Amino acid sequence: MDGGSGRPPLPPLHAGGRKRITMKRLFLLHTMPFVLNTISAPLESELLEKYPDVEIQTMLDTSLLADTMAAGRVTPVTAARLLNYVREAERAGASMLLLTCTSMGQGMAHVKEFSSLPTLCITDPLVAEALDLGRRIGIIGTVPTSPAQIVEPLMAEADGRGIPRDAITVVIDVVEAAFQARKAGDTAGHDRIVSEAIMRMARDNELDAIVLAQASMTGTVHDDPGVPVLKLGPSAFKAAGDMLAAM
């Protein structure tokens, strides 16, 4: 009771006089500054507007992608470093972690078992969306390690739906020149190369959807190929928001 008045004590207030809001912390793990600054930023703003009880913290390590590309896979050493980021986010009070790098996807699939922190890879919601559209899927990447990180979750999603793996047709194209253009700051050159790859893939194959395999490709301006082009980012941030809202 408060001061013998017979009334129960008031709930704690912050400086504005309103009830204190318990914030949920979403940690983002990036491997490319371009994705952080250009692709992720507007999606973060949308999420924060919809979920005012969420705050976003960012981690960036370009060497994770560089080492994975050099090795052609996520090595045990790189996976251990990835786990360190997950544990660091957990120690910092994260509610969940969203990995925005496609090439690290299978690494995350392995290390998430060693932490209780909810994690989401940017590719996870997209493969479900692709299979909703059909079983003939094209995948375009700009680094060699990224398409495989779409294929395996895609097949796992098919397994979960009872779709035989041999019923799924996957066509892959890697246009490394686009990645080099992006690294050089030539956004127009990157978009031109990726756009040409999209149109070529749609022309040469009967597809139900084309997936752009990296977040760095999300802002690509391209012509209409006549089939849906799925881009990483929006679906992952929506899924992250839904997961946080359910906590």
Q: Are residues 99 and 159 in the same domain?
A: no
Q: Are residues 147 and 108 in the same domain?
A: no
What CATH number is associated with residue 175? 3.40.50.1860
Q: Are residues 112 and 203 in the same domain?
A: no
Q: Are residues 35 and 114 in the same domain?
A: yes
Q: Residue 150 falls within a domain, yes or no?
A: yes
- Confidence class of residue 203 from pLDDT cuts 50, 70 and 90? very high
Range of the domain at 115: 24-122+235-245
What was the pLDDT predicted at 148?
Answer: 87
Structural domain count, the chain: 2
Q: Are residues 133 and 184 in the same domain?
A: yes
Q: Residue 132 falls within a domain, yes or no?
A: yes
Query: What average pLDDT does this structure show over 227-239?
Result: 93
Q: Residue 73 falls within a domain, yes or no?
A: yes
Tell me if the pTM is above 0.85.
no
Q: Are residues 154 and 216 in the same domain?
A: yes
**pLDDT of 20 over the 70 cut:** no
Q: Are residues 31 and 104 in the same domain?
A: yes
C-beta of residue 126 within 8 angstroms of C-beta of residue 215: no
Query: What average pLDDT does this structure show over 148-165?
Result: 93
Q: Are residues 128 and 151 in the same domain?
A: yes
Phi-psi label, residue 72: left if phi above 0, alpha if psi -120 to 50, beta otherwise? left
Q: For residue 39, what are the contacts with CB-CB under 8 A and spacing of at least 6?
A: 100, 215, 216, 218, 219, 233
